[in-house]
Amino acid sequence: MKKCYMCGKGELKKKMIPYKLYGVEVGKYKGEKCTKCGEVFYSEEEFDRMTKKVKELGLWGLETKTKVTKVGNSLDIRINKKIVEFLNIKQGEEVTVYPESKNKLVITV
């Protein structure tokens, strides 16, 4: 039995592990899951298959950097086109914004 590369305590068990990105099911992939910490390791081959599927689903590159700008007394954050399309947000739509922690902002559509 292989020991976990992350915690060094658990054992790695081979299984099909479902992979989800931004709440979208990407598929099930052959991987090894730690019995202790739950960390998942995929082979390079499976990772390539996964990446291909992620691109097909239009989930690739959704995470981007954006600059905070000033508009009047408020600050403005631009949301790029890919995310707009993914979330299907329209101009003028009302969204809810709240801090989840000191360094994480959540926008709920």
Footprint (CB under 5 A) of Zn ion, residues 4-23: 4, 6-7, 10
Could you tell me the CA-to-CA distances from 95 to 15, 66, 69, 82, 91 in Å, in that order?
Answer: 39, 18, 19, 17, 11
2 and 12 Cβ atoms separated by less than 8 Å: yes
Q: Which stretch binds Zn ion (CB under 5 A): 17-25, 38-46, 61-69, 89-97?
A: 38-46
Whole-number Å distance between alpha carbons of 20 and 59 = 11
CB of 29 to Zn ion, least distance (A): 18
3-class secondary structure, 80: coil
Q: Specify the residue, 10 or 54, whose C-beta has the smaller distance to Zn ion.
A: 10
CB of 1 to Zn ion, least distance (A): 12
Residues that bind Zn ion (CB under 5 A): 4, 6-7, 10, 34, 36-37, 39
